[in-house]
Chains A and B, each alone.
Chain A
């Protein structure tokens, strides 16, 4: 039980009469990279939003890091160690890389309330370390990120999750808007995270990517988890048939 990072039981979310998520049972172990796949509106993002407390669940329980948790908001979830890379990036264009990495949790030299003096040297050092750890290449840290490529920006967003001692990283389609090279760059970072033993939930539509990067694939369809497969025991065809509903019934892990 102790090596389970995240566990949900009967996680359910209804928007009025719409059952966006029905009784999701999910487990994530230490160092494991799990992919979440499914059609649009299958409940993938809804599932993530309940975990990160961007929305409040209708019913069900969540255990994180060995404790049952009831986060009231995304900041609480983040403080507990769940880092999310949002689809819309959540970066401030006019700030440089260290400022973006430390946005909202700046390291302070002297505490003077809102006028606290920032520890810029420390933040710069920590940023360099985080970029090395995630193998992100950024030419100049003090440039604002406005003129960086989509890939570089995504890398900054991912490096941010790795800067802080996060216990779980969630990425919602991190390469959806990126070109081939940039996608490769982001995938390399994800491999680095894997090597570092950091657990990850990856929402993706890219079958090749999922098979390349993840240990396990969970398929959502119409708000339910319809498949939970180790990647050795399945193939692309199989996953597609679960996504489209050609194959039904909950496929359990051949443990």
Chain B
């Protein structure tokens, strides 16, 4: 019984001919990429990309490499989750990298210890006020507050002044970077408390990234919020005529993107044990690229969080693969650019092919 039908008179419908989900193609690309690196490694380097070849370590896979692949993309990945839902809703967020910078600076200044090696902390911002050795919840809430505020400004600008999201978030990108530099007059902020440093330790970034990804995949699929994101990105006029409160929804979308960027900032400066004004530069573009590679359509309405996660893994595999092949970082950048454009071209072809077969 491959054929089912709906409605009276039932047109026949062959379930086997149904197009597979877009995420499957992205996953296929990931697998192909890994296979290519594996083959090049075996042929030219006599080493394996994916599998364990060392006798002093047990296990089938090269676990260190697998961890690095995902660890190095998990912080930008957290941003990419927020960016994905913004793009699905028909917008764009260029401000996330700068929000990371500003939030890292501000949050870190509330996470500092009073004394370093018996001396007063030379980098402490609020030593005089006694705001040192605060519980980890304080910098965390400060960070979330920063992200919320930035997202609120972005969302309100877009919803009420009707300026394009590109412009609104470009403004926030420049302003937030300014705030990041102004906060400590360009000085790095260091020496966090142990509990704050624990947030980004070891594989914690990966765990945080994947849990947030799972949470938002569920939200986008099973809640009214997700459905309205797709509806607005797909046809804003239709959504408005159907009674969806567009302005409120858009503000919420940008607020969530801001909060996710600020969480990424917490993980980043906790992992690095320091915050610098230049943190997160270009992260917004990497996040957008991960989403686009993962099959999220820049015109809105199409894509998923799972796609973005796979997109981020493709990023990770490229970076690790190039390191594995001992190629310079310059080539990574060049190839990254080609892959971003290639992913969109392939997606367009796939769409056109589907339209022809339908």
Give A contacts to B, CB under 8 Å: 74-75, 78, 86, 88-95, 99, 103-106, 108, 112, 114-118, 120, 128, 131-132, 135-141, 143, 147
Q: With the chains together, A190 CA to B219 CA distance in Å?
A: 38
The minimal Cβ–Cβ distance linking A195 to chain B, given in whole angstroms, is: 13
Which chain B residues lie closer than 8 Å to A75 at the CB level?
243
**Contact stretch, chosen from B61-69, B157-165, B233-241, B342-350:** B233-241
Residues in chain A near residue B12, CB distance under 8 A: 139
In the bound complex, CA of A147 to CA of B353 (Å): 11
- Residues of B within 8 Å of A140, CB to CB, are 6, 13, 15, 18
Question: In the complex the two chains form, what is the Cα distance from A136 to B234 in whole Å?
Answer: 23
Nearest CB to that of B4 among chain A residues? A140
Query: Please, which residue of chain B has its CB at the minimum distance from the CB of A152?
Result: B11
Nearest to B297 among chain A residues (CB) is: A94
How far is B234's CA from A147's CA once the two chains are assembled, in angstroms? 14
Cα A138 to Cα B8 in complex, Å, equals 9
Contact A94 B223 (CB under 8 A): no
| Residues A86 and B222 in contact, CB atoms below 8 Å apart | no
B234 cross-chain contacts in A, Cβ below 8 A: 92-95
Q: How far is the CA of A115 from the CA of B222 in the complex (A)?
A: 9
Contact residue range for chain B?
Answer: 35 or more
Residue B242 lies at the interface, judged by CB distance under 8 Å to chain A: yes
Residues from chain B with Cβ under 8 Å of A115 in the complex? 219, 223-225
User: In the complex the two chains form, is B238's CB within 8 Å of A90's CB?
Assistant: yes
CB nearest neighbor in B for A147: B358
Q: Is the pair B227, A135 in contact by a Cβ cutoff of 8 Å?
A: no
CB distance from B139 to the nearest CB of A (A): 26
A104 touching B239, Cβ below 8 Å: yes
Given contacts A106-B224, A118-B222, A118-B223, contact A92 B243 (CB under 8 A): no
Given contacts A138-B7, A139-B6, contact A74 B241 (CB under 8 A): yes
Q: CA of A147 to CA of B242 in the docked complex: distance in angstroms? A: 21
Interface centre among B301, B354, B355 (most CB of A within 10 A): B301
Which residues of the partner chain A approach B11 to less than 8 Å between Cβ atoms? 137-139
A112→B223 CA distance, assembly (Å):
9
Bound CA–CA A114/B355 (angstroms): 33
Task: Say whether B223 contacts A116, CB under 8 Å.
Answer: yes
Known: A92-B238, A140-B13, A140-B15. 4 other contacts (CB 8 A): A114-B224, A118-B223, A139-B6, A140-B18
Given contacts A90-B241, A95-B231, contact A137 B301 (CB under 8 A): no
Q: How far is the CA of A135 from the CA of B222 in the complex (A)?
A: 29
Closest-CB distance, B295 to chain A (whole angstroms): 12
Please tell me if the beta carbons of B354 and A138 are within 8 angstroms of each other in the complex: no
CB-based contact A104/B244 at 8 Å: yes
The smallest beta-carbon distance between A103 and chain B, in angstroms, is: 4
Question: Beyond A116-B223, A117-B222, is A86–B241 a contact (Cβ under 8 Å)?
Answer: yes
Taking the complex as formed, is B211 at the interface, i.e. its CB lies under 8 A from any CB of chain A?
no
* CB-CB nearest 4 A-B residue pairs: A104-B242, A94-B301, A147-B358, A92-B234
User: Could you tell me if B237 and A95 are in contact, using CB atoms closer than 8 angstroms?
Assistant: no
Decide: A135 and B9 in contact? CB cutoff 8 A: yes
Min distance, Cβ B290 to any Cβ of chain A, angstroms: 20
Instruction: Give the shortest distance, in Å, between A175 (CB) and chain B (any CB).
Output: 19
B10 at the interface (CB under 8 A from A): yes
Q: Is B252 an interface residue (CB 8 A)?
A: yes
Minimum CB distance partner of A148 in chain B: B358
Q: Are B355 and A99 in contact (CB under 8 A)?
A: no
Q: How far is the CA of A32 from the CA of B234 in the complex (A)?
A: 36
Q: In this complex, which of A94, A128, A135 has the most chain B Cβ atoms within 10 angstroms of its Cβ? A: A94
Given contacts A106-B227, A139-B5, contact A147 B355 (CB under 8 A): yes
Per-position binary interface string of chain B over residues 4-31, scored 1 when its CB falls under 8 Å from any chain A CB and 0 otherwise: 0111111111010010000000000000
A116 to B225, CA, bound (A): 7
Q: What residue in chain B is nearest A160 (Cβ atoms)?
A: B242
Given contacts A88-B237, A131-B6, contact A95 B249 (CB under 8 A): no
Please state if A132 and B227 are interface contacts (CB–CB under 8 Å): no
Which residues of chain A come closer than 8 Å to B18, judged between CB atoms?
Answer: 140, 143
Q: With a CB–CB cut-off of 8 A, which chain B residues contact A90?
A: 235, 237-238, 241-242
Minimum distance in angstroms from A171 CB to a CB of chain B: 15
B230 at interface by CB-CB < 8 Å:
yes
CA distance A132 to B11 in the complex (A): 13
Q: Measured between alpha carbons, how far is A86 from B235 in the docked complex, in Å?
A: 14
A residues less than 8 Å from B301 (CB atoms): 92-95
Nearest-neighbour CB distance to chain B for A115, whole angstroms, equals 5
30 contacts between A and B (CB under 8 A): A75-B243, A86-B241, A89-B238, A90-B235, A92-B239, A92-B301, A93-B301, A95-B231, A95-B234, A95-B301, A99-B227, A103-B231, A103-B239, A104-B231, A104-B243, A108-B224, A115-B223, A116-B223, A116-B225, A117-B223, A118-B223, A131-B6, A131-B7, A132-B7, A135-B9, A137-B7, A137-B8, A138-B6, A139-B6, A139-B11
